[in-house]
Amino acid sequence: MLNWLYLHFRAFVLALKRLGKQPFGTLLSALVMGIALALPAGGYVLLDNVSALARGVSGAPEISIFLNNDVDFAQIEAVRRNLENVPHLADFRFVSRDEALKQLEESGLGDVLGGIPANPLPDAFIVTLQSDDPELFEVLKAEMKDWPDVAHVQLDSAWVKRLAALLELARTMMLALSVLLGFALVIVTFNTVRLQILTQKNEIEVSRLLGATDRFIRRPFYWFGGLQGVLGGLIALGAVWGGIEALREPVAKVAEAYGVMISLSGPDWRESLALVGIAAALGWLGTAI
C-alpha cells in the first residue's frame, strides 16, 4: 500500500516535471481547455442568474386558494394552519373578501358588481413557492383542493410552465454544448499526451527493457493528463469569475432602471470544485484512450 502510494507520488512528481519542462505548451493546452470549459460553465452560471432574474422581475409564481363563501374565522384559521405545514412555501398572505372588494373598486372595476347587493367575492390565500418547478405546483394544487372549505385553487401556472420550458430548453442546449466541448477537451488531452509519449519514447522503451509493466509506464501520463485538466479547470473558473465581475456593474444598472434588486452570483465552492474535478476527469479520460 505504502509502495503503491510512493509509485503514484513518483509518477505525480514526474508528471509535474514534464509539465514544467514545457511551460508554454502546458499553458497553451490549459488555455484551450480552460476556454472550452468556461463556455458551458459560464452558460450555467448565467442560466442560474436568469432564473433568479426572471423571478425578481415578474414576481414569484403564485397559487391562489379561494375559500367557500360561508367560512367563519375558525375555518379560515384551519386553512392557515394547513398552509403552515406545507413544505417549499416561500410565503403566503390572506386576502379577505372585503379587502378584495376594496381592491376591485380601487381599480375602477367596482361598477361591475354594482347591481349585486352582497359581496360575491370569496376569501382567499395567495401563496408563493420557493421553487418554480411546475410539477410541484400541480401536486400542491391537487393537495390543496381536497382541504376542507377550499372551493377552488388556481395556478398562474401557464406563465410558470412557459418560463420553466424556456429555461429547460436553454439548459438542454447548454448540456449539448458541454458534451460537445467535453469531447473536444478529451481530444486535446489525447493529443498532448500523445506528443508526450513521443518525446518520452526512449524512456518508455528503456523502462520496458528493464521490466516495467504497462501500468507503471502509463501512470505518469495519467497524472499528466489529469493535472493538465486541473489547470484547464482553474483557468475556466478564473474566466467565469472574471466574466461575472465584468458584468456585475452593467447588470446592476439595468436592474436599477427596472427597480428590482439583482446581484449576480458566481459558482460557489462546491460548483467550483466540481468544475475542476470534471476537467481533471476529462484529462484523465483523454489519456486513457
Partner 1 sequence: MIIFDSVTKNYPGGYVALDGINLEIAPGEMVVLSGHSGAGKSTLLKLIPAFERPSSGIVQINGQNVSSLSRRAIPYVRRNIGVVLQETRLLFDRSISDNILLPLVINGHPPGEAGRRVSAALERVGLAGREKEFPAGLSGGEQQRVAIARAFVNRPSILIADEPTAHLDPAYASEIAGLFGSFNEAGVTVLVATHDISLFRYWSPRQIILDHGRILTEQ
Binding footprint of partner 1 on the chain (CB under 8 A):
2-3, 6-7, 10, 202-203, 205-214, 216
**Least Å from the CB of residue 288 to partner 1:** 18
3-state helix, strand, coil in the chain (%, to 5): 75, 10, 20
CA distance 252 to 189: 39
Order of strands, sheet of 89-95, starting from the edge strand that comes earlier in the sequence: 89-95, 124-129, 62-67, 150-155
Considering the complex, state which of residue 18 and residue 97 has its C-beta at the smaller distance from partner 1.
18
Which uninterrupted H or E stretch holds 124? strand 124-129
- Least distance to partner 1, CB of residue 29, Å: 21
- To partner 1, the closest distance from the beta carbon of 20 in angstroms equals 13
Q: Which is nearer to partner 1, 106 or 214 (CB)?
A: 214
CB of 19 to partner 1, least distance (A): 15
47 to 51, 169, 249: CA distances (angstroms): 6, 11, 18
Smaller CB separation from partner 1, 2 or 257: 2
Instruction: Name which of 72 and 214 has its Cβ closer to partner 1.
Output: 214
Q: Are 63 and 127 in contact (CB under 8 A)?
A: yes
